[in-house]
Structure 1
Amino acid sequence: MGDRDPRLPLTRAGHDRAAVHRLDEAWLAQAWATPETRVLVIEQGKVHWTDAGGPALVLVGPGDAPEGERYFLGLDPDGVAFFAVAAAALPEGVDAQVGHLFTLGSTLGERDAGLLVHAYGLENWHRTHTFCARCGQPTEPVAAGHVRKCTVCAAEHFPRTDPAVIMLVVDPQDRALLGRQTSWPEKRFSTLAGFVEPGESLRQAVIREVAEEAGVRVADVTYIDSQPWPFPSSLMLGFHATSVDDRIDVDGTEIAEARWFSREELRAAVDAGEILLPGAISISRHLIELWYGEPIPETNKW
């Protein structure tokens, strides 16, 4: 893969989540009172960042952080504590740009990428799970933002993660199967993917999803890697799989079209602008390039 970092962009992290401190209110209060502590302000997924010296998050001291729910993210190797604050609005008058995990995730350094994916997942979950699933009453954050507790029945609720399989399927001629969802514009192609159903193994999910979406029968399934995908709350589990033949019969509901590509055909289609591949932040791009054998340069991206 050349000089490219072999790790998936959203799996990089430079902080220790230090979960042992989440229930220690005295320790958390002391960490918040320490001037060296750094705070990431986030507002519905948006953050401030700067490109001075390379893309980096804008982190502030506790005294400069606005009001909002506070989440403890962890410690760096030097013991510096990191928090996120979910604010009603990003602070004004900051000499910085406004960005989002989807656009920043593959450009940030290791520490900032890890902090942002952690904060993004927590903030989205808290914002959309304010009531108890058991009794319907309001919940409040506890455990430094990693649990919500019902204010009436005391039920504890934990951040949601939905497992999804994503797979690069090849046929007996080693051609890769790429498809276009019905909701995507023309030319956008990617690997197939789908959510794991209750009582289903990952292998079973790969076989079922490929059959349902593209009518392709899969024999061999090999796990490759995983990546958090908090848009809003998925964990993508990546696979390579082999079909028993090259027949395709798309469902027309989720997948509008699907095609087999040899390496030469894929490169020619990308160079000609006939198809657009998924961006560098995604595990789907990683799976495609593992099969292809090297990074695939392109001028047009998602």
Structure 2
Amino acid sequence: MAAKAAEPVAPALSRGGVDRAAHRRFDEPWLAAAWSHPATRVLPIAGGEAFVVDTEQGTELVLVPSFEAPDEGDRYFLGTDDAGVSYFALAGESLPGRLDGDARPAGLREVAGLLSERDAGLLVHAVALENWHRLHSFCSRCGHPTRKAGAGHVRRCTSCAAEHYPRTDPAVIMLVTDDQDRCLLGRQSIWPEGRWSTLAGFVEPGESLEQAVVREVAEEAGVRVAEVEYIASQPWPFPSSLMLGFVARAHPDGTRITVDGEELSEARWVSRAELRAGWESGEMLPPSGISIARHLIERWYGEPIPAAARW
């Protein structure tokens, strides 16, 4: 009998507690006043990392008043909270000198699942913007340099004035089940030994999300998908993806697995009992705690992955 689908908490990178206040991004007087306000908090960031500190309440971002922030760096406006506090990121070549206390540098992969909704949302927003600015300093139309605008959410060409917006590459990630309610998991050869996860792939031009699910499962595992249902999404700024999560049902006559040998080195149908046994023995490792793949697996499995399972 199939287990009842669980409704786990939102994927770690999909959380947020700040209004992005996009209407303020071109209001230079307001932005200047917000930056100089004593309540404003700034998140220094460099190379995808920010300072965090471990407290009795949990892991927290180190946010500083603007008057304590470094003088140099690119400012990105991240939004405001319900108390009217404004938040900015300040991207530099490196993080500022060591802070007092036990602050340490950390990236999203390490701490996103430990942060509060507000802090997780701030960090993923800042990391995504930093990655985009670093990779898009020239105009794709004429090749001339671009400069930051819109409080970090636009780049404008210095020659043809074309405006460029943060790039997001859509990718589908799907948990496929068969008529025995087993799930299809695969592994790539570059992953740690024993790591298994759901299938995933990028959406191609002119393709719907549902078409991408069907195509990717067929290409990677040779399995024919008959039904597709959207579940949830998650930003994945490594450097610029948006993961769109689905569950899918394999066609009864199309469950034979034939891996492509490129995207996947192995794939298999797994029951809940087999998966639990694999986790308990350490022979199977679940996906990362911040991945939407974990969210999809837990939803099908019916409960959170046991804490004893290594990842």
Residue 60 (1) aligns with residue 64 (2) = yes
Other-structure match for 2:9: 6
Other-structure match for 1:279: 288
Residue 172 (1) aligns with residue 174 (2) = no
Cα deviation, residue 161, structure 1: 0.3
Q: 1:275 to 1:233 in 2, by over 3 A?
A: same
Q: Deviations over 1:177-204 (max 9, x none)?
A: 0000132232111000000000101111
Which of 209, 213, 220 matches 1:206? 213
Cα deviation, residue 110, structure 1: 0.9
| Alpha-carbon distance in 2 for matches of 1:68, 1:162 | 26
Amino acid at match of 1:85: L
Residue 249 (1) aligns with residue 261 (2) = no
Asked whether the equivalents of residues 279 and 301 of structure 1 are also in contact (C-alpha less than 8 Å), the reply is: no
Q: SS where residue 168 of structure 1 aligns?
A: strand
| Alpha-carbon distance in 2 for matches of 1:64, 1:253 | 49
| Alpha-carbon distance in 1 for matches of 2:98, 2:191 | 37
Cα deviation, residue 36, structure 1: 1.2
Q: Which runs of no fewer than 5 residues in structure 1 stay unpaired?
A: none
Amino acid at match of 2:296: L
Total equivalences in the alignment: 302
Cα deviation, residue 5, structure 1: 6.0
Q: SS where residue 37 of structure 2 aligns?
A: coil
Q: SS where residue 255 of structure 1 aligns?
A: coil
Asked whether the equivalents of residues 76 and 151 of structure 2 are also in contact (C-alpha less than 8 Å), the reply is: yes
Which of 171, 174, 188 matches 1:181? 188
| Alpha-carbon distance in 2 for matches of 1:64, 1:234 | 33
Q: Deviations over 1:145-165 (max 9, x none)?
A: 000001111110000001100
Residue 75 (1) aligns with residue 80 (2) = yes
Q: 1:178 to 1:107 in 2, by over 3 A?
A: same
Q: 1:4 to 1:57 in 2, by over 3 A?
A: farther
Amino acid at match of 2:130: E
Residue 292 (1) aligns with residue 301 (2) = yes
Cα deviation, residue 300, structure 1: 4.8
Q: SS where residue 51 of structure 1 aligns?
A: strand
Which of 47, 51, 71 matches 1:44? 47
Q: SS where residue 247 of structure 1 aligns?
A: coil
Q: TM-score, normalised by structure 2?
A: 0.94
Q: Which runs of no fewer than 5 residues in structure 2 stay unpaired?
A: none
Percent identity between the aligned chains?
63
| Alpha-carbon distance in 2 for matches of 1:256, 1:280 | 22
Residue 266 (1) aligns with residue 275 (2) = yes
Asked whether the equivalents of residues 278 and 301 of structure 1 are also in contact (C-alpha less than 8 Å), the reply is: no
Amino acid at match of 1:69: D
Q: SS where residue 229 of structure 2 aligns?
A: strand
| Alpha-carbon distance in 1 for matches of 2:153, 2:109 | 22
Other-structure match for 1:122: 129
Q: Deviations over 1:99-132 (max 9, x none)?
A: 0011111110011011011111001100111111
CA RMSD of aligned residues (A): 1.6
Q: Deviations over 1:18-52 (max 9, x none)?
A: 01111100000011111211000000101000002
Residue 85 (1) aligns with residue 90 (2) = yes
Asked whether the equivalents of residues 271 and 298 of structure 1 are also in contact (C-alpha less than 8 Å), the reply is: no
Q: SS where residue 290 of structure 1 aligns?
A: helix
Q: 1:136 to 1:301 in 2, by over 3 A?
A: farther
Amino acid at match of 2:170: P
Alignment of 1:205-244 (within 5 A): 205-244=212-251
Which of 9, 25, 28 matches 1:25? 28
Amino acid at match of 1:23: F
| Alpha-carbon distance in 2 for matches of 1:89, 1:106 | 24
